Amino acid sequence: MPQMKSLENTAARVILKDNREKSVKNYHPWIFSGAIKKIEGDFQPGDIVSVFSDKGNFLAKGFINPHSQIFIRILSFIDEPLNESFFRNRITTAAHFRETAISSQSNAYRLVHGDADHLSGLVIDRYDRVMVVQIFSLGMERLRTHIHDWLVELFSPQAIIERSDSPARREESLKSRQEIWEGSLPEKLFIEENGLKYRVDVWAGQKTGFYLDQRDNRARIAELAAGKKLLNCFSYSGGFSVAAAKKGVQTTSVDASSEAIALARENFSLNGIDPSAHRFQVQDVFDYLKGEKELYDIIVLDPPAFIKKRSHLVQGSRAYKEVNRLAMQRLASPGLLLSCSCSSHLDWEQFQKAIFVAARESGRMVQIIGRFSQPQDHPINIFHPEGEYLKSFLLRVV
């Protein structure tokens, strides 16, 4: 075996303040600046450095970024060499799990989910043979060319594109970037999920092109909606609608984006469903629900994150309450409501409280009949509860 080149800065040592190693001992992947006592040796922001307790015990290795609130993003709690083979193994392990868990359902899945896969600041989505990379940490940014090489070597994709356009990059002093890293994008990219086809626009579409995290809920709704009338609010490219319409359900899809609705129509046709037999509306969902008098048997509410920062908690909770209240008023009795939040700052209890107020204000009796989180390809690291962002209540409204 040839000697593997180290990717670490072995000259720098980060020392924590006395008694500040508790979160590291609990395997939390982030160390905040307040816990740092001193740094010995020279380093560049984004380097991989070792972290020690005040007593000099080794604790972890990770990316250092003094310009970010998250001072250290831990990659390993073991004193092992962090070289190319370390990262390749991490990516391969993550990929192997998805292949086992998801590939029978879909050829599109999240291959790497940041801290949940112990790769802080890296997200990789796979759409058949096209990979979309998102980088959120300075450390991963510094490894860009390596990440490119590892992906080419491990997966020989048709194309790799980078869509590092999340506001989270600003926290790490990084600018947005969108680039083709490798190969060329097919003119039209199609994926298959639970026997249904979707066209995915990885270049101009939302997120990395598709809401992979709603895969299980789309399948659930398709089962529940049979024989019913469905309203899909915040429909994007029609994921929930297509899944239900394929079961013969009459659907209405509402989204503020005309591109999203155009793509939703296309996805109906792609699955042999005549879009003209269904309703599509480019409109603000709040306005649609206020103006609408028709009742539906089942409503899906999958809004964008109303709480993007902790300081938006009160205002955002009110928006969740309001949209749920309006939806409840449009439900037949009994009706079903799948109510989702993808705001990581809103926990289950706070979200349930917003729905409680919505129920009280709309005067409807509401039963919780299901609680669902992210699918398996978006795992939650038990030591990093912040990673649980998607929360969905299935409600029976009487």
Q: Where would I find the H helices in 226-381? A: 239-245, 258-270, 285-291, 313-329, 348-362
Nearer to ligand SAH, 140 or 260 (CB): 260
Nearer to ligand SAH, 68 or 374 (CB): 374
Nearer to ligand SAH, 77 or 240 (CB): 240
State how far the Cα of 244 lies from the Cα of 225, in Å rounded to an integer. Answer: 6
Q: Is 304 in the site for ligand SAH (CB under 6 A)?
A: yes
The token duo for 85 is: 């083979």
Q: Is 99 in the site for ligand SAH (CB under 6 A)?
A: no
Q: Is 172 in the site for ligand SAH (CB under 6 A)?
A: no
The token duo for 391 is: 């929360």
Min dist. Cβ of residue 279 to ligand SAH (A)? 15
Q: Is 392 in the site for ligand SAH (CB under 6 A)?
A: no
Q: Residues 114 to 143: which contact ligand SAH by CB under 6 A? A: none
Min dist. Cβ of residue 207 to ligand SAH (A)? 8
Q: How many C-beta atoms lie closer than 10 Å to residue 255's C-beta?
A: 24
Check if the beta carbon of residue 47 is closer than 8 Å to that of residue 64.
yes
Nearer to ligand SAH, 109 or 234 (CB): 234
Eight-state DSSP code of residue 293: -
Min dist. Cβ of residue 254 to ligand SAH (A)? 6
Nearest-5° angle of CA 362, CA 307, CA 259?
90
Q: How many C-beta atoms lie closer than 10 Å to residue 42's C-beta?
A: 9
Min dist. Cβ of residue 179 to ligand SAH (A)? 24
Nearer to ligand SAH, 86 or 210 (CB): 210
Q: At what angle do helices 84-101 and 144-155 cross, to 10 degrees?
A: 50
Q: Residues 216 to 255: which contact ligand SAH by CB under 6 A? A: 234-237, 239-240, 255
Min dist. Cβ of residue 213 to ligand SAH (A)? 8
Among the listed residues 79, 153, 192, 284, the single contact to ligand SAH using CB under 6 A: 284
State how far the Cα of 19 lies from the Cα of 54, in Å rounded to an integer. Answer: 8
State how far the Cα of 28 lies from the Cα of 103, in Å rounded to an integer. Answer: 30
Q: Residues 260 to 279: which contact ligand SAH by CB under 6 A? A: 260
The token duo for 334 is: 């009994």
Nearer to ligand SAH, 248 or 304 (CB): 304
Among the listed residues 83, 107, 166, 257, the single contact to ligand SAH using CB under 6 A: 257
* CB contact set of 363 (below 8 Å; sequence gap of 6+): none
Question: 141: closest CA among 80, 67, 214?
Answer: 67
Binding residues for ligand SAH, rule: CB under 6 A, are: 206, 211, 214, 234-237, 239-240, 255-257, 260, 284-285, 302, 304
